[in-house]
Structure 1
């Protein structure tokens, strides 16, 4: 199924390229929230033709179908020259076959950009040339989170951890229907998740700003929908780290595990002195990934909270894993009220 889907996607793109559909649309840049330190920047973006997505949380079914079709029928711009300005540094990149550019920039401490003390900073993204348009000057901006005085960081899964997706259902069509027919306004968050996440962000005195990072196997095409979902449900804003390709529940288990594990490792290595709380669900392999991260980063993982998806066999597997790791704090919770009570008892939230 995976190979067939990729083949059909590639053939469709080739047909569109030959007919030049969408190439008359203006340029656009999908800017994804980045993260880093003053001496390090991790940033991804995508150069596209403007898809004309006009969204409102009260959109009707037809609007949702059209917008989601546009999200997955993106017209990426290959071989576009992009310049990313970060402080005093300007970094040149060329987009790949899917229109993505990637920045992972290190610099010596003495050459690090000088920023104010604000948690959020900004990188300027400038498209300077494309094969079709020639020389251009299209400027946009990407937000970048630079945690400084945090007490701990939080890494959270999205699907069936904060967002109801039915990704664990035997009927994968339910997941596809959520993806294709709904918008951010009629997707549902789990009860109590907003209060718990806001409390984690505030920390033990409710005045902090502990950074959130979201890791998901959803494709980048859904980024704007997920960002709107966080905002509408009063969930902390933070980088949303998605995958290059595929609808939810498509690719192999190994691919899923590799993406999430890589992103968790990237975040932990970026902030080596910061402890973390990890949140996921029992539906996929979050527990396995988080336990491996905890083993590789001794004493840095304060707690792993796993939301029970109410599947007996899956819950039993998680309980068996927990029994095997007495040195790692793992909690299988039925509700976020239960998780909040434990975190409060540990002194992490008020």
Structure 2
């Protein structure tokens, strides 16, 4: 979109910060709209747990609401309250169960718990016993993940129980949908279809980000994408159709000239094989640039030879030695001298180094990279839409 407005948080002063974190809300909305188109005729919600995957509920949710998203999923009731603070009319589901003593928060805020065990159902029914009309709830059924949720038999028994309050939503969670060849996904769809037959007339939801792209995702009422909205890969081994949302850049503090045979960083794990120009950048694992992205000196390098990379002056540059709490070193020897100097920025995630590329170099996934982003960056939110 044109005429983007820069919306800056109250985070670190750009003159003082060691790094910049730019969140393109227009790209996020475009991703949600693509997922919504793929989900039709189902409604498309948004998963905004973990502070909208580290990008900020207070900025992400109003933009999604303006784009037409009306249902949101969070992990905890506290997160749900933050969604309600910026989107009071939103329908907000809380995934991580219902805790004893939490009922007043649900009663006062219209949050909807996702119940996933007989114990939670009992707690919820007891809490609602004094009300003329029970508050709405959703049911989570485990169809093959062995995490949260009623067993299929427990859910069928609940559906057959005389007078049992009906949930407003029936959900399950796919365990392997990112792997299009995995047989478990088809088994989960099959089990869930049996459950839908037992809960006739109840809205149903099975598709997470990869599930939206699965051929079996038809006839359901609500999709609930997460990581794909934020630019992550929905499917393994398939070109990512999502637009990048996050750009992370780190400021160069100093350029050092190391000699062949010298070592770099903690543990002396990197020995220079040539005279080397080293860019020391103000970013480390305290900022979410994971130690496992180190160029050497971590167990991951025993199996995956290559560590993380930065991008500057049209070229990728490798991490040298260990990523530390506040500083990371990059080899900029192959760049012209004037191309990297103190005060310049090296891209760590963005248009030139995809989120999942950076994650794989650290032996992890895009989810962890996003949700690990620290609070020392200067954050900019790019958004051209009207706020609700």
TM-score bucket of the superposed structures, by smaller chain = under 0.3
Would you tell me which structure has more strand in proportion to its own residues? 1
Normalised TM-score (structure 2): 0.25
Normalised TM-score (structure 1): 0.27
User: More relative contact order in 1 or in 2 (CA 8 Å, sep 6+)?
Assistant: 2
